[in-house]
């Protein structure tokens, strides 16, 4: 009996190693170089996908990390799942300035560490569309989104006509047909640098959008301001769902909430005609439920 704790620890270590080995991996691509470094995209394809015969919607997701960190790993599972549902899915990295959060917060008004992220995100979307025929993607049906900073980056990259890399094929737009945002980090201080301020770009005809927040997330207050402006302009295509009692990053820290959020995204995409059938993920074992806000 006295050895049982050691056995349990070893079993958990083995399970963690097995999980890491089984983690889904997409096909890697370099979509550009910036600041002397390759910027990578991993693409996940549906089973038996034949690009020459069928064109399906594409999804491109941007990781969070305060515009200064994070990795492709955040959305690998999500991309693998939605590829299994019939989409061509990509998760993308992007340039991040080499500074601390404290240094970033002390930049003078008008200066921001966020612009370089957006420039690369626009390049990634254009590259994804440029290779649509090769990958079997309908370039007119691209969905985007992300978590935290990734939500903000995906928004500005598709709403702001500026912040372009001059090396990009600028005849290819960054328009999308839907947004999937998990606790998007829209900040009031972005008004000091209007080219990264979503409040400047909200308009009535934005595409269908689903937004998820933890009930205790500090960014929720700013989101309510953004949503109120959106709706005041006549926008009717935005949905908000809340994780009761949770804070920022609830999907990253709690697997059951990530499952619940992925299922909700799936149902949203079914509703708007990008997927069919029913979600194939089993419901969270502990019964957690997001609460739609009317």
Give 53-99 pLDDT, tens digit per residue: 999 999 999 999 999 999 999 999 999 999 999 999 999 999 999 99
Instruction: Report d(CA 18, CA 167) in Å as an integer.
Output: 42
pLDDT band at 7 (very low <50, low <70, confident <90, very high): very low
Predicted pLDDT of residue 169:
97
Angle between helices 149-159 and 115-130 (to 10 degrees): 70
Give 149-178 pLDDT, tens digit per residue: 999 999 999 999 999 999 999 999 999 999
Predicted pLDDT of residue 23:
59
For strands 88-92 and 56-62, give the pairing: parallel
Predicted pLDDT of residue 25:
78
Give the angle subtended at the CA of 199 by the CAs of 171 and 115, to the nearest 5°. 55
Instruction: Report d(CA 219, CA 146) in Å as an integer.
Output: 15
Asked if 284 contacts 261 with a C-beta cutoff of 8 angstroms, the reply is: no
Q: Which domains does the chain have, with CATH numbers?
A: 23-293 (3.40.50.1820)
Residue 156 vs residue 15, higher pLDDT: 156
pLDDT band at 294 (very low <50, low <70, confident <90, very high): confident
Give 181-201 pLDDT, tens digit per residue: 999 999 999 999 999 999 999
For strands 178-182 and 209-214, give the pairing: parallel
Give 253-269 pLDDT, tens digit per residue: 999 999 999 999 999 99
Whether pLDDT at 16 is above 70:
no
Whether pLDDT at 9 is above 50:
no
- The percentage of residues in the chain with a pLDDT greater than 70, rounded to a whole number, is 92
Whether pLDDT at 252 is above 80:
yes
């Amino acid at each position: 009996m006295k050895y049982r704790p050691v056995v349990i620890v070893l079993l958990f270590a083995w399970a963690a190693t097995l999980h890491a080995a089984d983690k889904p991996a997409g096909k890697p691509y370099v979509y550009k170089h910036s600041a002397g470094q390759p910027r990578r995209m991993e693409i996940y394809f549906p089973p038996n996908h034949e690009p020459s015969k069928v064109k399906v919607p594409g999804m491109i997701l941007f990781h969070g990390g305060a515009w200064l960190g994070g990795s492709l790993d955040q959305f690998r599972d999500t991309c693998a799942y939605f590829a299994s549902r019939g989409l061509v899915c990509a998760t993308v990295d992007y340039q991040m300035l080499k500074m601390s959060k404290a240094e970033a917060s002390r930049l003078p008004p008008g200066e921001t560490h966020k612009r370089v992220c957006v420039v690369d995100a626009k390049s990634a979307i254009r590259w994804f569309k440029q290779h649509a025929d090769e990958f079997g993607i309908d370039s007119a049906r691209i969905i985007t989104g992300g978590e935290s900073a990734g939500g903000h980056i995906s928004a500005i990259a598709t709403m702001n006509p500026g912040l372009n890399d001059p090396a990009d094929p600028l005849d290819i737009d960054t328009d999308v047909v839907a947004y999937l945002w998990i606790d998007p980090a829209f900040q009031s201080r972005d008004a000091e640098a209007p080219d990264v301020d979503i409040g400047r770009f909200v308009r009535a005809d934005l595409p269908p959008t689903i937004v998820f927040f933890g009930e205790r997330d500090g960014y929720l207050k700013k989101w309510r301001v953004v949503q109120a402006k959106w709706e005041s302009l006549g926008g009717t295509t935005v949905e908000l769902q809340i994780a009761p009692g949770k804070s920022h990053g609830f999907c990253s820290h709690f697997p059951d909430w990530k499952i619940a959020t992925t299922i909700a995204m799936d149902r949203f995409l079914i509703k708007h005609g990008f997927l069919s059938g029913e979600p194939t993920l089993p419901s969270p074992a502990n019964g957690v439920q997001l609460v739609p806000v009317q």
